[in-house]
Amino acid sequence: MLFHNPIYLLIFLPVVFCIYFLIPNNKINLRIYFLVLSGLIFYAYWNIKLSPLIVIAILVNFYFSKKITNSTNIIYKKKILVISIIFNILYLGFFKYADFVINNVNIIFNSNFTTLNLPFPLALSFVTFQTIAFLVECFDGNIEKNNIRRYSLFIIFFPQLIAGPIVRYNHMISQFEDKKRSSIIYKNICIGLIVISIGLIKKVLIADNLSVIVDGGFDSNEQISFFGSWLVTFSFAFQLYFDFSGYIDIATGSALLFNINLPTNFNSPFKANSIINFWQRWHITLTNFLTNYIYNPYLRSFKKLTFLKSMIGIMLVFLIAGLWHGPSWLFVIFGGLHGAGLITNHIYRKFISLKINNFFSQVLTFIYVSFSLIFFRAESLDDALKIIKGLYSFNSDFNLLNLYIPLNSIIAFIISIVVCFIFSNTKYITDQLKKNKIFD
C-alpha cells in the first residue's frame, strides 16, 4: 500500500487511528497488538503471498535476539550474533540478488543457469538494516524490555516500514509505552496532517511532474542535446529528493498522529557544500547505520589505523551502500562515485588549506551528486552514457529533449530550485509548528 494511495489516506490511516485511540489508555499491550496487525494488513495489501516472509524474518530474528540477550558467554553471544547477521544478509541476498549473481556467473563462465525471477519482498532492505542494528544492540546489552510483541511492532510499524527512516528499538518502543503519549494530542494531529500534506505536494505535484522530463530523457532513443541532458540530470536529482523526502514526510506525519516521533532523514541536502556534508543531510539514518555498524567496526579491526586504511574503508562502505540500493552494477558505480567524492573531500581537508567560496562549493556538490544519480536512474550503461555524452556535447540545439515538455513539468522544475535552495525544509517547519502555541 503506497502512502499517496487514496485507500491509505482516506480509509486505512483514519480507521487505524480511530480504533487505536478507542482502545483504553491502560491497554497498551492491546494497542501494540492492534498496530502489529495493522502493519501486517498494510504489508499484505502489496502482496499477500509474500507476507509470510516478513513474519518468518520477525520470528527468526526474535529467536536470535533472545539467544544473544540471555547468554552470559561472550564467545557464544558473538557466535550467535555472527550467525544472525549472516542469516539476514543471505535472506536479503536470496530474494534481491540471486538473479544478479546468476547473471554475472553466466557472463564470467559463459554458463547458462536459469534465473529464478523471484519477486522482491517489500521493505526487506530496510528491515534487514534495522534488524542488524537491533541485534548488535542486543549484543551490547542496550535493549530494554524485549518481547515478541514489542519486537514485532518495532519491525512492522507501518509508517516507517517501507522506506524508513531506519529507527532504533529503544527510541521507538519507549514512545509507545510513554503514558504522556497514550491519549490523543491535538497538536500532533494538526502538525501530522500538515506534514502529510507537504509530503503529498512533494510527491504528487513536484516529483511526479518531474518524472515526465526524466522518463522522456532516459527513454529516448535519440541522442539528447546539451541543454536537454543537463535538464534531465538535474530533474532526476530533484525528482528523487522530492519523491523520497515526500514519502518520509508522509511517514513522519502518519507516525505523529499516534504521538510517535520518527528520526529526521533529510535536512536540505542540496544545500550541502561538500559530499561529506551531503551525507550528513541526505538519508541521515542510513548514514548513521553505515557509520555505526560498518565503518566504525572496520576501523576498530585495525591495531594501527592509518589515513589510507580509513579511506579504503569509506570506499568499501559506499560500494556496499550502492549495491544495497539495488542488484545492478550501476548502483555500485553510484556508490563508488560517492565514495570517491568523500575521499576527495577528506584529502582536501587534510592536505589543502585553501578555502573555497561556500556558494561555489554548494553548486559543485549539487552538480557532482546529480551526475552520480545518472547511474542510479539509468536502466543500462548505454542509457547512462547517452545522458553523460549529452552533458559534454555542447551545441546550439535549444529543442531540449526533442519532445514536448508539459508546462507543469517546467513549473515543477522551477519550484524545485526555489524549494531546495531557498526555502526552509520540513524539519524546520515541523520544529516551528511544535513551538507555536496556536495548536495547543
Does residue 135 carry a pLDDT above 80? yes
Rounded average pLDDT over 115-132: 88
Rounded average pLDDT over 137-143: 92
8 A C-beta contact, residue 29 and residue 101 = no
Q: Helix, strand or coil for residue 40?
A: helix
Map grid coordinates 552520480 to a residue.
372
Of the listed ranges 50-54, 264-268, 418-422, the one predicted with least confidence:
50-54
Q: pLDDT tens-digit profile of 343-399?
A: 999 999 999 888 889 999 999 999 999 999 999 999 999 999 999 998 887 665 545
Of the listed ranges 110-124, 274-288, 426-440, the one predicted with least confidence:
426-440
Rounded average pLDDT over 416-435: 88
Name the band, by pLDDT with cuts 50, 70 and 90, for residue 179. confident
Does residue 437 carry a pLDDT above 70? no
* 312 burial level (CB within 10 Å; 0-12, 13-18, 19+): middle
Active-site choice (4, 325, 338, 346): 325
Q: pLDDT tens-digit profile of 248-266?
A: 999 999 999 999 999 999 9
- Using the 8-state DSSP alphabet, how is residue 282 labeled? S
Does residue 63 carry a pLDDT above 90? yes
**Cell digits for 79?**
557466535
Rounded average pLDDT over 410-433: 90
Does residue 18 carry a pLDDT above 60? yes
- Mean pLDDT for the chain overall: 91
8 A C-beta contact, residue 390 and residue 229 = yes
User: What are the extents of the domains in the chain?
Assistant: 6-182, 188-439
pTM: 0.93
DSSP-assigned letters across all residues of 187-240: HHHHHHHHHHHHHHIIIIIIIHHHHHHHHHHHS-SSPPPHHHHHHHHHHHHHHH
**Separation of first and last alpha carbons in the chain:** 32
User: Which sign does the torsion angle of CA 297, 302, 306, 311 carry?
Assistant: negative
Does residue 164 carry a pLDDT above 90? no
Residue 283 annotated as catalytic = no
What percent of the chain shows pLDDT beyond 70?
A: 97
Name the band, by pLDDT with cuts 50, 70 and 90, for residue 404. low
Q: How much is the pLDDT for 400? A: 52
